[in-house]
Structure 1
């Protein structure tokens, strides 16, 4: 049995799409869809990730071999197949997809209920094509954008507390949320896309795939950084009686002047590890090393555990009042990497502030809640048809379900503009295909060619 090509773009769709070409009006020659967040956990989204999809998938187009393979699959699957249309694209158009995609700038923060992407057909022979691409395109947009939005929201929370309690918020902020999510996602591609989306907002990561994606798709020489850090195996390999030796070896190996390193302390008894081993036996070694040692209490209720660890470290290493009157630990810090999400981060920072501690003392590591918990309905992403031309007449179309007004879709010729009222959607005259003068949508893909590429620096600045 011959293996199927998992990268065949024609097969990158839902089964029911295969019959839709025969369901649209017979005289349809043009159709346009838009993608938006219809609300969700955040009132804003930070748009990101489309460019990776354009480079990796859409720009490569389709071949006659792809068409033959897809035809065989769909017919055996019990569905019809628009062979004539796909063969026309592969043969007459050289495999180049006849669609135009306009999108908001990557990295831009946009209020929900505004189109982020508009994809329209450019060839009257295959006006159904944008709908066929919905499955792949929507997935390419909602996942990295949702991760980027979650990360961006947490950035705003941490920034708020740093501005209240730290002397140099801008210098500290980029490394306050570290991506621990690579092992907790469902695929290598999720690690790359989600991890890269996080790095739009922060610069700390242990997801190596994210570095590859950021370089390959956005030209980032090095998008994120990490430090030497212990895991439980490197502690428990010494045996319970060798816990102190595990920490000592870590310090003797990596604790150099100006260095950062992290030590996990909950393999056995967190209180004993931080209070006795680190705070007593190894205190002088830490203080004389010139390094900043980051302590990771990886179990328990995050607000309580972080506060208790900070208090114990203050008792052993002392703290200094910064210019805003908050305490900053001397030579040590804390990173919480278990049970971390947007809610627990706010609770930890609030509790530290109430006890007089600067947010400078703590960083966070986030895994599943960052890269795996987000789903399409976290921000209620959808792609909807809004404009068609049938028998020479162009008109707006949309859905309006009586049982769920929240699913009301937009119709007409749409554009997204920015003016004195902010970013908003406008409806343009049906007989004028020109963009609005204040449109923020940019043509990024047209007829098989990528028209606009963003650099990594541009994406970060666009926020």
Structure 2
């Protein structure tokens, strides 16, 4: 029997709503806007990410017989009741902010316009892809800023929330400017440099550090990185220096510090290596690092050449989720909005115009940009198919670097950043007021009807 497709990776209420739409003949175009209401604490910006995998999902979306059976099973209904789903594909349009661009609170990352049942069914999967990847990419970009030009590499795979999340973390680190990843699958598939050293268990397997380091160097004829803190860190550096010098393996090689006071140990290691005549041997630091620890080490002047970040970045530990939403803003040409307390949405399809200094304006999609403004959302899918070739990782990386360099210094700060705030256009404000007034009039008329 064929397996279920990703169409079933959704919340049940998406199925129940879509089923009702199909039965009621409600298949007119609907526009849904995906945005982050507020930035997490300690964030001055977000990096839009996840679009490429979302487009892959939408392009391949199709409800097959096995999916219909799954829907029927969870709803405790006979499969014939779910037959309207059979063969349903995504045939809509997508406008989105390209991956790697900086986005602010309230700005749409993506807008989907499609027949209502389609636009509804894809919500959960698309929201998951963009929310998770935007959170991790934003954390990774902050690490690059904190490192102030020093290379950063990804060591997160072993503790990310599943192998797929680990693959995404490696890609997102590269997008943000990381120099490599320990993830072999990601390095191979994405053309990212693979990086790695050895574990403490490797050193423990030998009778001494000297034997371990010599064996490793014999096995790997190129530059090697030796883990020096299995027992006594300073002694480990001395042993590594002796092995590297005797084997004439200095340039390109490194020692890795993985625990303790990394700043102090790096200074001691640097002194030992320099005295041994190995000024070209680099120092790699790892062990619970994120942008806050990296920022402290860089500001302290620690002689660390490369920072390896893992768990805290791969899971975006201090901000593991985004307050993201996927809300309908128009149905069948009628602008709609939500008035729930603290969750009010603005009606109508939108565009974001960015002027120098991140003077962003959230406007209606058909508005003209200001003289110095550029539109962030681009049409990336029509009739369920991509409008252009898949964006390369290099293109995403260049986009990210350019946007980060243009950010105001206060937004780039690692601690107590101040995020720019987007404003809304006069036309959007007027539409919002008009739709709100219409809803309030409707509610008033409902209340006046006797029960």
1:59-116 deviation per Cα after TM superposition (whole angstroms, max 9, x unaligned): 122144144323333323x8999835423xx1xxxx4313221111122122332111
Q: Which position in structure 1 is the counterpart of 2:65?
A: 65
Q: 1:60 to 1:21 in 2, by over 3 A?
A: closer
Equivalent of 1:342 in 287, 291, 309: 291
Equivalent of 2:3 in 2, 5, 12: 5
**TM-score normalized by structure 1?**
0.75
Structure 1 residue 53 displacement after superposition: 3.1
Distance in 2 between residues matched to 1:191 and 1:423, nearest whole Å: 35
Distance in 2 between residues matched to 1:19 and 1:376, nearest whole Å: 32
Partner of 2:229, secondary structure, is: coil
Structure 2 residue 102 is matched with structure 1 residue 101: no
1:255-280 deviation per Cα after TM superposition (whole angstroms, max 9, x unaligned): 6xxx53211112222122124x234x
Q: Which position in structure 1 is the counterpart of 2:270?
A: 310
CA contact under 8 A between 1:415 and 1:441: conserved in structure 2? yes
Structure 2 residue 354 is matched with structure 1 residue 412: no
Equivalent of 1:187 in 149, 162, 178: 162
Q: Which position in structure 2 is the counterpart of 1:132?
A: 121
Distance in 2 between residues matched to 1:301 and 1:408, nearest whole Å: 48
CA contact under 8 A between 1:283 and 1:317: conserved in structure 2? no
Q: Which position in structure 2 is the counterpart of 1:298?
A: 258
Structure 1: runs of 5 or more not aligned: 163-172, 215-221, 319-328
Q: Which position in structure 1 is the counterpart of 2:282?
A: 333
After TM superposition, list the pairs within 5 Å mapping 1:191-270 onto structure 2. Answer: 191-200=166-175, 201-214=177-190, 222-226=191-195, 229-239=197-207, 242-254=208-220, 259-270=222-233
Distance in 2 between residues matched to 1:427 and 1:295, nearest whole Å: 52
Q: Which position in structure 1 is the counterpart of 2:394?
A: 457
Distance in 2 between residues matched to 1:30 and 1:398, nearest whole Å: 18
For the aligned residue pairs, the C-alpha RMSD in angstroms reads 3.0
Distance in 2 between residues matched to 1:144 and 1:423, nearest whole Å: 25
Equivalent of 1:363 in 306, 325, 328: 306
Structure 1 residue 292 displacement after superposition: 3.0
Q: 1:209 to 1:114 in 2, by over 3 A?
A: same
CA contact under 8 A between 1:71 and 1:81: conserved in structure 2? no
Q: Which position in structure 1 is the counterpart of 2:153?
A: 178
Give the total of aligned pairs.
390
CA contact under 8 A between 1:47 and 1:107: conserved in structure 2? yes
Q: 1:63 to 1:138 in 2, by over 3 A?
A: closer
Distance in 2 between residues matched to 1:270 and 1:114, nearest whole Å: 48
After TM superposition, list the pairs within 5 Å mapping 1:105-120 onto structure 2. Answer: 105-120=98-113
After TM superposition, list the pairs within 5 Å mapping 1:440-451 onto structure 2. Answer: 440-451=376-387
Q: 1:295 to 1:245 in 2, by over 3 A?
A: same
Q: Which position in structure 2 is the counterpart of 1:278?
A: 240
CA contact under 8 A between 1:188 and 1:209: conserved in structure 2? no
Partner of 1:344, secondary structure, is: helix
1:141-183 deviation per Cα after TM superposition (whole angstroms, max 9, x unaligned): 1222222211111111212xx4xxxxxxxxxx4xx11111112
